[in-house]
A = this chain, B = another copy of it.
């Protein structure tokens, strides 16, 4: 009963997050189902495009196809993105629930930060949901504000992992020198409290691809004795390379591609 009420409260919270996003982003708030207003051929094409992106069949793409702007906007803020996240988080939790962490405190999970724990959807709403090319300076300014909201399903996962005795290691490509403080504050403010480590990209890894940088860090963690049970990210580059962990989980993100 308690669980149900908590889950209902959570859901209301998510719905409120949507509403705020929807108002911010001038979305059609009277949408009966998230695809209803899209012409059939476009929706069909964009659904194929999104599947191909999420399965890593389309790689190194720079922008969302312009004809998918309406589709991606509706996907991101019309509810399906959050439903997809919820679904995957439930999968992750049912896997995590099968593991009994040992007493040595070395059972670890790797979580990416951007669009895995905290959301950049508000920023990308100003970039036509990825139809505009990546704007590094704009993104840095946005990240510096520390205003990325928690992804509700991710916060739920994070808390259960920490409560369940796992060491949660947050691994991000964000620049250590310039974004460390803002990122720590942002995560703290949004409820990500109790993680083992937050690893940002230090000068030594500057200019490296995410696959190489994150592989190297995971390798170090494994050498330090951590057992990586799960590895969660919104980019395939989070989930490829070495020392991937026992299972990887791809969260949806049709807005941008990190090599």
**A43 to B33, Cβ gap below 8 A?**
yes
Give the chain B neighbours of A56 by CB distance below 8 A. 250
- Within 1-48 of A, Cβ neighbours of B (below 8 Å) are at 32-35, 40, 43-45, 47-48
Segment 231-254 of A: residues with Cβ below 8 Å from B: 247, 249-250, 252
- Stoichiometry, as copies per complex, reads 2
- CB neighbours of A80 from chain B (8 A): 44, 47-48
Q: A157 contacts the other chain (Cβ, under 8 Å)?
A: no
Q: Does A87 contact B (CB under 8 A)?
A: yes
Q: Give the distance in Å from the alpha carbon of A52 to the alpha carbon of B153 in the complex.
A: 15
Given A44-B79, A44-B80, A57-B250, verify A91-B33 contact (CB < 8 Å): no
> Hey, what's the 0/1 contact readout for A46-59 against B, CB within 8 Å counting as 1?
01110110111111
Chain B residues contacting A43 (CB-CB under 8 Å) are 33
A247-B34 Cα distance, complex, nearest whole Å: 33
Is residue A161 contacting chain B, with contact meaning CB distance below 8 A?
no
Asked if A88 is at the interface of the complex by the 8 Å CB criterion, the answer is yes
Cα distance, A56 to B249, chains bound together (Å): 8
User: Interface residue tally of chain A, by bracket?
Assistant: 20 to 34
Residue of B with least CB distance to A250: B55
The B-contacting residues of A in range 56-111, CB under 8 angstroms, are 56-59, 79-80, 83-84, 86-88, 91-92
- Whether A84 touches B252, Cβ cut-off 8 Å, given contacts A33-B43, A55-B55, is no
User: Quick one: given A35-B35, A40-B32, are A48 and B250 in contact (CB under 8 Å)?
Assistant: no
Residues of chain B within 8 A of A83, CB atoms compared = 44-45, 47-48
Q: Which single member of B32, B40, B79 contacts A33 (CB below 8 Å)?
A: B40
Chain A residues near B (Cβ < 8 Å)? 32-35, 40, 43-45, 47-49, 51-52, 54-59, 79-80, 83-84, 86-88, 91-92, 247, 249-250, 252
8 A-B contacts (beta carbon < 8 Å): A33-B43, A35-B35, A48-B80, A48-B83, A49-B87, A51-B87, A52-B87, A55-B55
